[in-house]
Amino acid sequence: SAVISQKPSRDICQRGTSLTIQCQVDSQVTMMFWYRQQPGQSLTLIATANQGSEATYESGFVIDKFPISRPNLTFSTLTVSNLSPEDSSIYLCSVEGAGLGYGYTFGSGTRLTVV
Amino acid sequence: SQELEQSPQSLIVQEGKNLTINCTSSKTLYGLYWYKQKYGEGLIFLMMLQKGGEEKSHEKITAKLDEKKQQSSLHITASQPSHAGIYLCGAAESGTYKYIFGTGTRLKVLA
């Protein structure tokens, strides 16, 4: 299955600033997914990033707040803009595993704390 | 929309004890995945179940999908501190490409 390198692993950011999270995959993948895991809650899909097209955002998430780039088939970034304490979460990227029985592979996550 | 509900939300067991985590879907499942998440780390894929009545095992962890394909259980035999973490079930939402997750079960194993 694919191996994902996600960074940074954690960051503490000031209110009003932005944080860009990077995910590098060791193989070419069509779709990459970005998730948010708020404290004590399950994962919520933010958006799906396809190479060469605009990301598709889920209800409650907008491009101005969570701009995504997908310049090629192995890389994507998620920016969390105009940070507020409510943005403090773990952010994860994910790709589909190689083959039906391999599930989805996830990055190691980025733990964001906004102060 | 489809939802996955997990129970219990948290579990504390003594080392060596067996335990079961359940995942119930509001709609038929066409692929149910189990993941484990350790604190500060990403999700680790454990196993996938697809067919009604299917059962898979890996080391001391066994997962089952019921015949109606709406409920799955994850059973850990003779638990160890290394089993501690958050267990999540996940599935592709019926009719869409979206992936949904259960609410998670936080497991603590006391040595």
Task: Convert the pLDDT of each residue in B69-111 to its tens digit.
Answer: 899 999 999 999 999 999 999 987 776 666 788 888 999 999 9
Quick check: A69 contacting B, CB < 8 Å? no
A15: DSSP letter: T
Which residues of chain B lie closer than 8 angstroms to A48, CB-CB?
97
CB contact under 8 A, B99 and A58: no
pLDDT-based confidence at residue B45 (cuts at 50, 70, 90): confident
Q: What is the dihedral of CA B87, B93, B98, B103, to 10 degrees?
A: -30
Looking at the predicted structure, is the pLDDT value of residue B39 above 90?
no
Q: What is the pLDDT of residues A66-96, one digit of tens each?
A: 999 999 999 999 999 999 999 999 999 998 7
Q: What local confidence, expressed as pLDDT, does residue A99 receive?
A: 52
State yes or no: pLDDT of B58 exceeds 80: yes
How far away is chain A from the Cα of B35, in angstroms, using its nearest Cα?
A: 9
Q: How confident is residue B21, by pLDDT bands cut at 50, 70 and 90?
A: very high
Contact B90 A104 (CB under 8 A): yes
Check if B39 contacts A (Cβ < 8 Å): no
Q: Do A43 and B48 touch (CB under 8 A)?
A: no
- Name the 3-class secondary structure at B82: helix
pLDDT of residue A43: 83
Per the CB < 8 Å rule, is A94 touching B99?
yes
- Could you tell me if A33 lies within 8 Å of chain B, comparing CB atoms? yes
**Helix%, strand%, coil% for chain A, nearest 5:** 5, 50, 45
Alpha-carbon distance B82 to nearest alpha carbon in chain A (angstroms): 18
> Which residues of chain A have a pLDDT value below 70?
1, 97-103
Angle at B54 between CA B51 and CA B4, to 5 degrees: 70
User: Measured between CB atoms, does A94 come within 8 Å of chain B?
Assistant: yes
Contact A102 B103 (CB under 8 A): no
Query: What pLDDT does A41 receive?
Result: 75
CB contact under 8 A, B48 and A1: no
Two tokens, residue B110: 């006391």
Yes or no, beta carbons of A100 and B50 under 8 Å apart:
yes
pLDDT for A87:
97
Average pLDDT over residues B30-38: 86
Nearest to B41 among A33, A42, A109 (CB): A109
Q: Is the pLDDT of residue B10 over 70?
A: yes
- pLDDT of A2: 77
Contact list, B90 vs chain A (CB under 8 Å): 43, 103-104
User: What pLDDT score was predicted for residue A108?
Assistant: 83
Q: Do B111 and B13 touch, CB atoms closer than 8 A?
A: no
The confidence score (pLDDT) of residue B7 equals: 94
pLDDT, position B30: 80
CB A47 within 8 A of CB A76: no
- Structure confidence at residue A97 (pLDDT): 64
